[in-house]
Structure 1
Amino acid sequence: MKFLDFNPNVIKKVGLILLTATIFNCGKPAESIEITPEHFHQSVDKVVEIMIHDIFSPPVASRIFVYPNIAAYEILAQKSSEFSSISDKLNEFVPIPKADVNQKINIDLAALMAHMELSKALIFSEERFKTLQDSLYMQWEKTNTEEFEQTKTYAMNVVDHIKVWMSKDNYNQTRTMAKFTVDTDDPSRWQPTPPSYIDGIEPHWNKIRPFTLDSAQQFKPAPPPAFSMDKDSEFYKELMEVYNVSKAITEKGDDSEEIEIARFWDCNPYVSVTRGHFMFATKKISPGAHWIGITKIATRKTNSNIEETVNAYTKTSIAIADGFISCWDEKYRSNLVRPETVINQNIDPDWLPILQTPPFPEYSSGHSVVSGAASAVLTAIFGDDFAFDDDTELPFGLPIRSFNSFNQASSEAALSRLYGGIHYRAAIDLGLKQGRDLGKHVVEHFNLKAPN
C-alpha cells in the first residue's frame, strides 16, 4: 500500500493560506441590514389585518395608523435631504431623541422597528403582530447582531418618547366618559338603528388632541337643513331623495353600478348579520384603512423609496386622523337622525338601506370628510391627474375600481353614502367640502407640493 508523501513545505504554505483567510474573514465588516419600502407595506398590511380582527371603530383606527407613521417619519428625517422634521408642526410634540452617530444605528431599520413596536402597542391582538415581528427580528439579528442591537435600543427610546406624547392626547380619559344619551322625544335627534341598535360610538372623540388643527371646531361645516316633515322643506326633499334613489337602485338589481359603488366604499368594520335566531358579524376595513391602502397603491406605482413612502403614509394618516376629530365633533353637535329611522317611522316601515346604517349620528358624512382630506394630501404629493386601480377591496370579494385622480375617488366615496341609503345629500356635499378644506390645510401646513 502506497502512502501519501507529505511535504513539510507544502503543509506550511497551506497553513499560511488558511490562517490568512481566517484573519481576513474575521476582519470583514458584517453586512448592513437592508430595509425596503415593502417592509413598511408589510407592517401596515399586518396592522390592517389585525384591526379587522379586533374590530376597531373608524376613529380609533385612525389613531392606530398615525402615531407609528409619525415615529417612523421623524427617525428618517434625521438623514433625509428631502424631508425635514415636522415636530414643530404637531400639537404638543417634543422632538424625538437623536441617533448617536458614534453607534452603528441603521436609520431605516430604526424607523421600521419604531413603526412595528408602536403598532403592536396600539392593537389588542399583539401576538398576531409579534409573529411577524419575531421572524424579521431573528433574520436581522443574524445578519448583523451589533447593528441590530444598537438600532433596536435607539428605536425603543423613540417609541417610549412617542408613547409619552400619545398618552396625553385624552384618549385614555375618553374611555371612561359617559355613554351618549339618546333623546327619544325629539324626532330630529339620532337614535340607534337596526339590527343591533348599538350605542353611539365615540361620542367624545372631539376631545382627542388634534395633530394640526387649532381645535376640533376649526373646520366646522355649515349646519344641515333643519329637520322638517313639511314636503316643501329642504330636509324632506333630501329625505325623499335617499328613499327614491334607493328604490330605483334596488329595482336595477344587485349587479347595478350604484350598488357596486356603495359596497366598494362601505368600509364598515362591523356589519351585523342575522340568520334566524343567530347573529354574527362580517368584518371589513375602516374608511381610513381604505385610503391608507390607496396610499400604498400610489407609492408602489411611483416606485417611491423608503422616505417617500413613509412621508406619504404619515401626511395622509395625519389628515385622516384630524378628519375624524373634525367630523365627530360635528356629528355629536348636530346629532341628526339617520334616514333609516325617519323613513321607517314616516314613509315606509319595511324599507331597508342598501348598506347597514353605522352606529352614530348622520351629519356630516365620515366617508366624505375623510376621503376629501386624504385625497387633498395625496393629490399634493402625487399630482392631480394620478390614475390608479384601487384593489383595496379585493380581499372582501369586491372587484377593482379604476380612477383618474384621487379627487374622483373621493367624490365617488362620498356619493356612495347616498347610494347606500345612509346619508342625506347635505352630509355628503358639505362633508366633502369639510374634508377637502381640512386636507388643504394639512397640505399648506406641511408645505406639500405636487410634482411638476
Structure 2
Amino acid sequence: MSTSTRRSRTVLAALAAAVLTGGLAAPQAAADGARAADTTAVEWFDVTARTVAAAPAPTQVTNSRTWAIGWLAAARATRDVPGGLDHGQYRRAALASAVHRALTELVPGQAEQVDAAYARTLAGIPDGQAEDRGVAAGERQASLLLAERTGDGLDPASVNAPYPVPAAGPGVWQPTPPAHAPATQYGNRVAEPFALRSQSQFRLPPPPAPDSTRYAADLAEVRAYGAADSTVRGAEQTAVAQFWYGSSFTLYTEPLRVALTRSSQGLAGQTRLVALFHVASVDTQIATSDSKYAHTRWRPVTAIRTGAIEPDATWTPLHTTPAHPDYPSGHGTYSGSAEGVLTALGGARTAPFELTSPTAPGVTRTYTAWRQLSEENVDARVWSGIHTRTADEAGIALGRAVARHVLERQGELLAAR
C-alpha cells in the first residue's frame, strides 16, 4: 500500500463499503486512466457546486471565496509536475486533494459527501509516487491558502457589517421599500482581495449628478419600463427581467461549467479557468462595494418617490430593490467579470448553450456568446426597476477591468507556494 493510500485509509474505507454493497462501480483498470483524467476537473466542479449549494453561506461573496480558495490551491498544485512522474496521475491527485481539503474545511457539514468523492478519484489513480506527491501537493497548497485567507473579512458577519445610514438628501442612498432593510455588503469594501492592489483600485468616477440631463434620462427609462404596472414594457422584456433577477453566483455556475466542458486546455488549464473565474468574482465583489459605498447613490424607487423630478409617492418597481446603493450594479459587475475571464480563456463565442434560472421556472434561454449574458443583465436590471442604465453599464465596465487585472497577474497568482 502506498503512502498516499495509507493517509487516505478512512476515506477509502467508505469506498470499499460502497463497492461491496453495490453503491459504486468497482475501480476501473489503469488502462482507463486517460478517459478519467479528461473528466476529473468536471467531476470536481460538480462536487464543489453540490457542496456549496447544499450548505450555502448567506452571503454570495463568501460562497465565491470557497470556490476561489479550493480551485486556486488546485491550480497552484497542478501547474507544474515534478520530473519523472505521470502528469495525468499527479494532476488528478493534486486537484482532488486541494479541493477536498478546502471543502472539508470550509463546508464541514458536507464532509462525508466530499470524502466519498475524494475516495472515488483516488481509487482510479494507480498507487505510486505520482499519486502520493500529487496528494501532498494539493494538501499543501490548500492548507497554505486557507491559512493565508484566515481573517480576510469575507465571512458573512464581516461582509454585512453595520452601515450608518447617511442623512437624506438628493441622490443619497436610503433604505428602500417595502422592508426598508439595513444596507448589506458594506463590509466587502474593506475585505482582503486576492489580486487587487487595493479595494479602491478600480473605484468608479461619480455617477451623473441628480440634476443632470443624463440622470433625468436614466430615471425616465426606469420609471417607464421598470414599474410594476408598466404599460410599455413588453412580455419579452418582463421575461428577461425575471430570468436575471436571481443570484449572479447561481446564474453563472452553468455558463462556467459549459466553458469548462468545452475547454481543450487539459486538466491544468481547466483548473486555472475555474480558479481565475472565482478569484476575479471575489475581487469584483469587493471592488463593487468600494464604489457603491464611496458614492452611496440612491435607488430609482427613492429618486422617483421623493426626488425633484415629477415625484410619484406610489411608484413601485417590478422587483423588490436589493438593500444597497444603486451605483454600480452588482449584477453588472459580476457579469462583466465573468465575461472577461470566459472570453480570455475560452474565446468570445461558443456553440449554443442553454441556461435556466431559479427565478423563472420552466424557462430556458439560449446563448452563443458570453457578451450576450452581460447585455441581458444591463437591460434586465432596468426593466426590473431596480437600477439605472448608467449603474448597469458602469458595473459591466468595472467587472471587465477587474477580470483583466486578475488575468494579467495570473502568473503570480498561480505560482506554487
Q: Please give the alpha-carbon distance, in whole angstroms, between the structure 2 residues aligned to 1:235 and 1:151.
A: 56
1:87 aligns with none
Q: Identify which of 73, 88, 92 aligns with 1:71.
A: 73
Matched residue, 1:60: 62
Per the alignment, residue 195 of structure 1 pairs with: 178
Pairwise CA distance, 1:362: 1.0
Q: CA separation of 1:444/1:350 partners in 2, compared to 1, >3 Å: closer, same or farther?
A: same
Inter-partner Cα distance in structure 2 for 1:349 and 1:49? 39
**Partner residue in 1 for 2:414:** none
The whole-number CA distance in structure 1 between the counterparts of 2:119 and 2:323 is 43
Deviation of the 1:46 alpha carbon: 0.9
Distance in 2, matches of 1:394 and 1:301, equals 24
The alignment status of 1:217 with 2:196, answered yes or no, reads no
Displacement of 1:195 in angstroms is 3.3
Distance 1:345 1:328, change over 3 A: same
Residue 383 to residue 132, structure 1, CA distance change in 2 (3 Å): same
Q: Choose which of 197, 204, 222 in structure 2 pairs with 1:242.
A: 222
Establish whether residue 45 from structure 1 lines up as the match of residue 26 from structure 2.
Answer: no
Runs of 5+ unmatched residues, structure 2 = 1-28, 412-417
The 3 A distance-change label for structure 1 pair 262 and 360 is: same
Determine which of 236, 243, 249 is the counterpart of 1:257. Answer: 236
Whose helix fraction is larger, Structure 1's or Structure 2's? 2
Q: Which residue of 2 aligns with 1:317?
A: 278
* 3-state SS, counterpart of residue 386 of structure 1: strand
**Overall identity of the aligned pairs, in %:** 24
For the residues of structure 1 that align with 2:286 and 2:45, how far apart are their CA atoms? 26
Residue aligned with 1:391, SS: strand
Residue 313 of structure 1 and its aligned partner are, at CA, apart by 0.8
Aligned residue identity for 2:100 = M
Q: Does 1:227 align with 2:191?
A: no
The yes-or-no answer on 1:356 pairing with 2:320 is yes
Alpha-carbon distance in 2 for matches of 1:349, 1:395:
28
Gaps of 5+ in 1: 1-29, 80-97, 268-285, 448-452
Letter in 2 for 1:62: S
**Do the aligned residues in 2 keep the contact of 1:264 with 1:398 (CA within 8 Å)?**
no
Question: 1:310, 1:143 → 2: CA distance?
Answer: 19
Find 1:122's aligned residue among 89, 102, 106.
Answer: 106
Q: For residue 328 of structure 1, what is the aligned residue in structure 2?
A: 289
Distance 1:439 1:177, change over 3 A: closer
For 2:361, give the aligned amino acid. Answer: G
> Is the CA contact 2:71–2:99 (under 8 Å) kept in the aligned structure 1?
yes
Match of 1:208 among 182, 187, 191: 191
> Whole-Å Cα distance in 2 between the matches of residues 39 and 343 of structure 1?
48
Once the two structures are superposed, residues 191-237 of structure 1 have per-residue CA deviations (whole angstroms, 9 ceiling, x without a partner) of: 22233333211212122222222212222222101234xxx643233
Which structure 2 residues correspond to residues 5-154 of structure 1 after superposition, within 5 A? 31=30, 34-35=36-37, 36-50=40-54, 54-79=56-81, 106-123=90-107, 126-127=108-109, 129-139=110-120, 152=135
Distance in structure 2 (CA, Å) of the matches to 1:176 and 1:291? 21
Select between 200-209 and 188-197 the one with higher mean Cα deviation: 188-197
Q: Quick one: structure 1 residues 198 and 390, their matched pair in 2 at CA, closer, same or farther if it must change by over 3 Å?
A: farther
Inter-CA distance 258–111: structure 2 relative to 1 (3 Å threshold):
same
User: What RMSD, in angstroms, separates the aligned Cα atoms of the two structures?
Assistant: 3.3
Equivalent position of 2:374 in the other structure: 410
Structure number with larger C-alpha Rg: 1
In 2, the alpha carbon distance for the partners of 1:324 and 1:287 equals 11
Counterpart position of 2:256: 295
- Aligned partner of 1:175 among 158, 174, 179: 158
Distance apart, 1:130 and its partner CA: 2.2
The 1:381–1:156 alpha-carbon spacing in structure 2 relative to 1, beyond 3 Å, is: closer
| Deviation digits for residues 113-165 of structure 1 (CA, Å, limit 9, x no counterpart) | 32133134334xx32x2242233244456667966787655543332211111
Amino acid at match of 2:77: I
What's the offset of the Cα at 1:247?
A: 4.1
Give, as a single letter, the amino acid of the residue that structure 2 aligns with 1:179.
P
Shift of 1:184: 4.0
Give the conservation status (yes or no) of the 8 Å contact 1:294–1:392: no
Cα deviation, residue 350, structure 1: 3.0
Residues 410 and 172 of structure 1: CA distance in aligned 2, closer, same or farther (over 3 Å): closer
The aligned length equals 372
Q: Distance in 2 between matches of 1:173 and 1:246?
A: 31
> Quick one: distance in 1 between partners of 2:359 and 2:116?
24
Q: Deviations over 1:277-328 (max 9, x none)?
A: xxxxxxxxx3134333211112223466432321211121122112111111
1:400 aligns to what? Answer: 364
1:436 deviation in Å? 2.0
How far is 1:330 from its partner? Answer: 0.3
Q: Which amino acid in the other structure matches residue 223 of structure 1? A: P
TM-score (norm 1): 0.72
Q: Secondary structure at the match of 2:313?
A: coil
Does the Cα contact within 8 Å between 2:353 and 2:367 map onto a contact in 1? Answer: yes
Which shifted more, 332-341 or 204-213? 204-213
1:260, distance to aligned residue in structure 2 (A) = 1.5
Cα distance in structure 2, aligned partners of 1:77 and 1:444: 17
Distance 1:120 1:290, change over 3 A: farther
Q: Is the 8 A contact 2:200 2:290 kept in 1?
A: yes
> Could you tell me which amino acid in structure 1 is paired with residue 79 of structure 2?
A
- 1:151-170 matches, within 5 Å, as 152=135, 155-167=138-150, 169-170=152-153
